[in-house]
Structure 1
């Protein structure tokens, strides 16, 4: 039985409400920017600033993920999505990095939206737990991102 069914549902967590507020602010900021080039440049600065705010282990992983994603798929545009670094194709988020600190989880996550072309049979992974970004992990991320935009 879910919390809603049992009558104990208390609404969104503080972290979820904060993420929704961040998303609303991101949308407002994007609407105020004038040119497409200005929007892209500011969006990347916003992503890098958000990464810089993260706790050490999350920040280190997010920096490496950012470098790998932007190198593997230059067509993806960095942008904030619910306060998380994400990478979009034609304005639609393909993948994102969720720090462990975002929702107080024990690991960071590299997630892919339904826009990612990761389909494999009738079931496939769309999110990956990250505890460290090693050279092997970077290779796997690169391959996943390339497949996602293929």
Structure 2
């Protein structure tokens, strides 16, 4: 199994659409007025739905009406990670590592292993760029900077 879609309630659909289309470059799949569906990847295997708070009727139940901040991680190929982080920063987006420190290299979760960088959308949903790294999982290592990871794994 894998996750196909996730939905977020947003306070301003137009502002959020500009963020997800312009900054993250997601492709609009369907505009249902107060709900928009985006393809996250070109293969159309992952989707994100944005719901206008207070206005989106749902076949899944009542309008959520409130924004509950959520966390989503989007995987990018490892060779594109640093470029994508720079694009976010060039777009005026604050990017931080696992420890909340501004970053360009991200932080590594050795138990996966993966490198990640975090940022927020216009409603404060915490978003993550994540790239799987080569090599074995190291569950006994704590999270660290990308440069520390490279230093510790050099020569393997």
TM-score normalised by the shorter chain: which range applies?
A: 0.3 to 0.5
Normalising by the residue count of structure 1, what TM-score does the alignment of the two structures yield? 0.32
Which of these two proteins has the greater Rg computed from alpha carbons? 2
Q: Which has the higher strand share?
A: 2
TM-score (norm. length: structure 2):
0.31
Q: Name whichever structure is richer in helix by fraction.
A: 1
